[in-house]
Chains A and B, each alone.
Chain A
Amino acid sequence: MSEALAATVSPDDAALERRLIELTQQGLPLVPHPYHQLADRLDVTAGEVMEAFRRMQASGVVRRIAAVPNHYRLGFRGNGMSVWDIPDGLVREAGREIGALDFVSHCYIRPRALPDWPYNLFAMVHGRNHDAVYDQVARIADMLGERVQHYDVLFSTEVLKKTGYRSAATKTQRRGDAEE
């Protein structure tokens, strides 16, 4: 194969995905044809770029393409990490039930650290202020009923560091996107 031909061979899917991840660290271009602009930068077709994004959405590499509001800026000043001690056999159903609530952004099962830390279910609860968050947490407690042995809410009082995640695919700095 001549060099000229080699240069026109489209990169394989994974390589294109990695380059798109790198190019969209700061987001999707705010231009009429954003996927075309990315395609021009990478010397591929817009169709290939759109196909790559559909593929990444299907594989879960891209959770979604969307706008992410800054909840703090929008007045949601109370953000509490609620933590729950639920019997192991019931924790998954509890997680699913909490997941159906509209004021919880993330819900995770995590290991306990006994005896210091008995909680195995974490749910981030958002409200306009601390009182609103306490109200939501009380609703969760009511819903879970006797399955809850102990619970607590930890409010963040200071951001000590927020530099975002290092993109594992590109080893470059990526802005945090509130996924944790």
Chain B
Amino acid sequence: MTAAMQELSALDRAIINRLQDGIPVCEAPYAELAAELGTDETTLLQRLQALKAAGYLSRIGPMYNVERMGGAFTLAALRVPEARFDEVAAIVNAFPEVAHNYRRDHAFNMWFVIAVADAADIARVLSRIKAATGLEVYNFPKQEEFYLRLKFDV
């Protein structure tokens, strides 16, 4: 149990655990969930607002698979000389197609996700990043996904 979790009430923890499993598609989904959790709809909605505001829940709602909607992602990496790191990060981050960018403690020290509406745009963005940074861009597109439902029991 972490310090963060000690701040959560038993009900909050039950809510986080239960709602990771799904919110039903029905007339009154929160009332249905509240009944399962032994509370009432008003309390559940209040707690969800609070948990979201406090950052314990990053999202409550549908999780969309962009690729099924015709979009495309790839994961790409750079080996950036340490002296150029901030400069290169600024160049990469300026691309609107770069959704996430992380520094990682490795020779391959910059990892970013490119998200585009049209799969054909991936190659174009990769070559523009290569031209703008002067660095080799390593492209690691997803070939197969083993989609898991990581569940954080709190």
Known: A65-B61, A67-B16, A111-B143. A74 touches B73 (CB 8 A): no
Contact among B54, B93, B142 for A160, CB-based, below 8 A? B93
Contact among B21, B55, B64, B106 for A70, CB-based, below 8 A? B55
Q: Which residues of A contact B149 (CB under 8 A)?
A: 64
B63–A64 CB distance below 8 A = yes
Listed stretches A1-9, A99-107, A139-147; interface member: A99-107
- B interface, by DSSP: helix, strand, loop or mixed? mixed
A99–B49 CB distance below 8 A = no
A46–B69 CB distance below 8 A = no
Per-position binary interface string of chain B over residues 41-66, scored 1 when its CB falls under 8 Å from any chain A CB and 0 otherwise:
10001001100101111111111111
Interface assignment of B10: CB less than 8 Å from any CB of chain A: no
Q: How far is the CA of A159 from the CA of B64 in the complex (A)?
A: 23
Which residues of B in the span 116-140 have a Cβ within 8 Å of any Cβ on A? Answer: 116-118, 138-140
B48–A30 CB distance below 8 A = yes
A105–B148 CB distance below 8 A = yes
Q: How far is the CA of A26 from the CA of B53 in the complex (A)?
A: 13
A166–B55 CB distance below 8 A = no
Chain B residue at minimum C-beta to C-beta distance from A47? B27
- Min CB–CB distance B28 → chain A (angstroms): 6
Q: Which residues of A contact B15 (CB under 8 A)?
A: 67
A66–B23 CB distance below 8 A = yes
- Min CB–CB distance B48 → chain A (angstroms): 5
Chain B residue at minimum C-beta to C-beta distance from A129? B2
The interface size bin for chain A is 35 or more
Which residues of A in the span 124-159 have a Cβ within 8 Å of any Cβ on B? Answer: 126, 128, 152, 154-159
Interface assignment of B105: CB less than 8 Å from any CB of chain A: yes
A177–B152 CB distance below 8 A = no
The interface size bin for chain B is 35 or more
B105–A155 CB distance below 8 A = yes
Q: How far is the CA of A69 from the CA of B97 in the complex (A)?
A: 25
Q: How far is the CA of A170 from the CA of B20 in the complex (A)?
A: 26
Extra contacts besides A65-B23, A168-B118, A175-B58 (20): CB < 8 Å: A21-B64, A32-B31, A35-B25, A65-B22, A65-B61, A68-B57, A68-B58, A70-B57, A74-B5, A107-B145, A155-B105, A156-B111, A158-B102, A159-B101, A166-B71, A167-B71, A169-B64, A179-B65, A179-B66, A180-B75
Q: Which 10 A-B pairs have the closest CB atoms?
A: A168-B71, A75-B2, A27-B61, A67-B19, A105-B150, A28-B61, A99-B146, A160-B101, A161-B101, A158-B103
Query: Which residues of A approach B to under 8 Å, CB–CB?
Result: 21, 24, 26-28, 30-36, 46, 50, 53-54, 56-57, 59-71, 73-76, 81, 92, 95-96, 98-99, 102-111, 113, 116-117, 122, 126, 128, 152, 154-169, 171, 174-180
